Amino acid sequence: MPKPAKKKKAPRSRAGSGHKGLAAHDHRLGASELRRIADKIFKLSEADETEVDVSAVTSALTRFANNTIHQNVAEQGIAISVRAVVDGRTARASTNKTDEESLRRVTAAALELAQVQPRNPALLPMLGPQKLQKVDRFNAKTAAATPADRARAVTRVCQMADRQKQTTAGIFSTGLSEFALANSRGLFEYYQETRAEFSVTILEKDSSGWAKATSARIDEIDPDALAERASKKAADSRSPREIPAGKYTTILEPPAVLDLVGFLFYDFAGTCVHDQRSCFTGRMGKKLFGENISIWDDVYHPVQLGPPFDGEGVPRQRVTLVEKGVPVNLVYSRATAKEMKAKPTGHGFSLPSEDGEAPFNLVFSGGKASTEEMIRSTERGLLITRLWYIREVDPYKKVLTGMTRDGTFLVENGRVAGAVRNFRFNQSIIDMLANVEMMGPAVRASGEESFDMVVPAMKVRDFNFSEVTKF
Partner 1 sequence: MKSWANLAIEKALARRASYADVRVMDIRHRDLSTKNGQVGRMSEGESLGLGIRVIADGAWGFASTDRLTVQGVESCVDEAIAIAKASAMAKRHDVVLAPEQSFVDTWQNPFIKDPFLIPIETQIAVLLRADAEMRKVKGITLAEGSMSFRKIDQLFVSSIGSAIHQTKMQSGAGIVATSFAGEEIQKRSYPNSFGGQHMLRGYELIEELDLVRHAPRIAEECVALHSAAKCPEGKRTIILDSSQLGLQIHESIGHPIELDRVLGMEANFAGMSFLTLEKLNSLRYGSDIVNVVADARLAHGPGLGTFGYDDEGVPAQCTPIISSGQFTGYLTNRETAAAIGQSRSNGTMRTEGWNRLPIIRMTNISILPGDHKFEDLIADTDDGIYMETNRSWSIDDRRYHFQFSTEIGWEIKNGKRGRMIKTPSYSGITTEFWNSCDAICSRDYWTLWGTPNCGKGQPMQTMGTGHGASPARFRNVKVGIASSD
Q: Which window, 41-49, 61-69, 319-327, 453-461, contacts partner 1 (CB under 8 A)?
A: 61-69
Q: Which window, 7-15, 167-175, 235-243, 319-327, contacts partner 1 (CB under 8 A)?
A: 167-175
**Residue 372 or 467 having the CB closest to partner 1:** 467
Q: Which of 203, 226, 314, 362 binds partner 1 (CB under 8 A)?
A: 203
Cβ of residue 351: shortest distance to partner 1, in angstroms? 10
Strand-pairing partners, residue 467, are 424
Cβ of residue 378: shortest distance to partner 1, in angstroms? 21
**Residue 78, CB-side half-sphere exposure with 13 Å CA sphere:** 19
Confirm or reject binding of residue 95 to partner 1 (CB under 8 A).
Answer: yes
**Residue 31 or 74 having the CB closest to partner 1:** 74
Q: Which of 34, 78, 234, 374 binds partner 1 (CB under 8 A)?
A: 78
CA dihedral 57, 60, 61, 62 (to 10 degrees): 180
Cβ of residue 442: shortest distance to partner 1, in angstroms? 25
Cβ of residue 211: shortest distance to partner 1, in angstroms? 11
Separation between Cα atoms, residue 94 and residue 109, nearest integer Å? 9
The pattern of x and - marking residues 116 through 155 that bind partner 1 according to CB under 8 A reads: xxx-x-x-----------------------xxx-xxx-xx
Number of residues that bind partner 1 (CB under 8 A): 95
**Residue 50 or 464 having the CB closest to partner 1:** 464
Separation between Cα atoms, residue 217 and residue 173, nearest integer Å? 12
* AA identity, residue 398: K
254: preceding bond cis by omega (within 30 degrees): no
Q: Which of 1, 23, 74, 124 binds partner 1 (CB under 8 A)?
A: 74
Confirm or reject binding of residue 17 to partner 1 (CB under 8 A).
Answer: no
Residues 381-400 that bind partner 1 (CB under 8 A): 388-397, 399
Q: Which of 1, 23, 31, 69 binds partner 1 (CB under 8 A)?
A: 69
The pattern of x and - marking residues 236 through 275 that bind partner 1 according to CB under 8 A reads: ---------------------------------------x
**Residue 231 or 428 having the CB closest to partner 1:** 428
Residues 341-380 that bind partner 1 (CB under 8 A): 352-355
Length of the chain: 471
**Residue 155 or 377 having the CB closest to partner 1:** 155
Contacts (Cβ under 8 Å, ≥6 apart) of 299:
135, 306, 307, 308, 316, 318, 360, 361
Cβ of residue 434: shortest distance to partner 1, in angstroms? 12
CB 389 within 8 A of CB 427: no
* AA identity, residue 153: A
First to last CA, the chain: 25
Q: Which window, 6-14, 29-37, 40-48, 197-205, contacts partner 1 (CB under 8 A)?
A: 197-205
Confirm or reject binding of residue 76 to partner 1 (CB under 8 A).
Answer: yes
Cβ of residue 284: shortest distance to partner 1, in angstroms? 15
Q: Which of 1, 328, 342, 403 binds partner 1 (CB under 8 A)?
A: 403
Task: Tally helices (H) and strands (E) across the chain.
Answer: 10, 19
Q: Which of 70, 241, 343, 415 binds partner 1 (CB under 8 A)?
A: 70
* AA identity, residue 270: G
Residues 218-237 that bind partner 1 (CB under 8 A): none
Cβ of residue 371: shortest distance to partner 1, in angstroms? 23
Confirm or reject binding of residue 167 to partner 1 (CB under 8 A).
Answer: yes
Cβ of residue 320: shortest distance to partner 1, in angstroms? 26
**Residue 294 or 428 having the CB closest to partner 1:** 428
CB 359 within 8 A of CB 297: yes
CB 257 within 8 A of CB 456: yes
Contacts (Cβ under 8 Å, ≥6 apart) of 13:
141, 218, 219, 221, 222
Strands (E), 7-67: 49-65
Residues 265-324 that bind partner 1 (CB under 8 A): 275-277, 281
Which letter does DSSP use for residue 21 in this model?
A: S
Separation between Cα atoms, residue 297 and residue 323, nearest integer Å? 12
Binning the chain into helix, strand and coil, the percentages to the nearest 5 are 25, 35, 40
CA dihedral 337, 338, 339, 344 (to 10 degrees): -10
Distances (CA, A) of 4 to 16, 45, 191, 355, 368: 23, 49, 26, 33, 10
Residues 416-435 that bind partner 1 (CB under 8 A): 422, 424, 426-428, 431
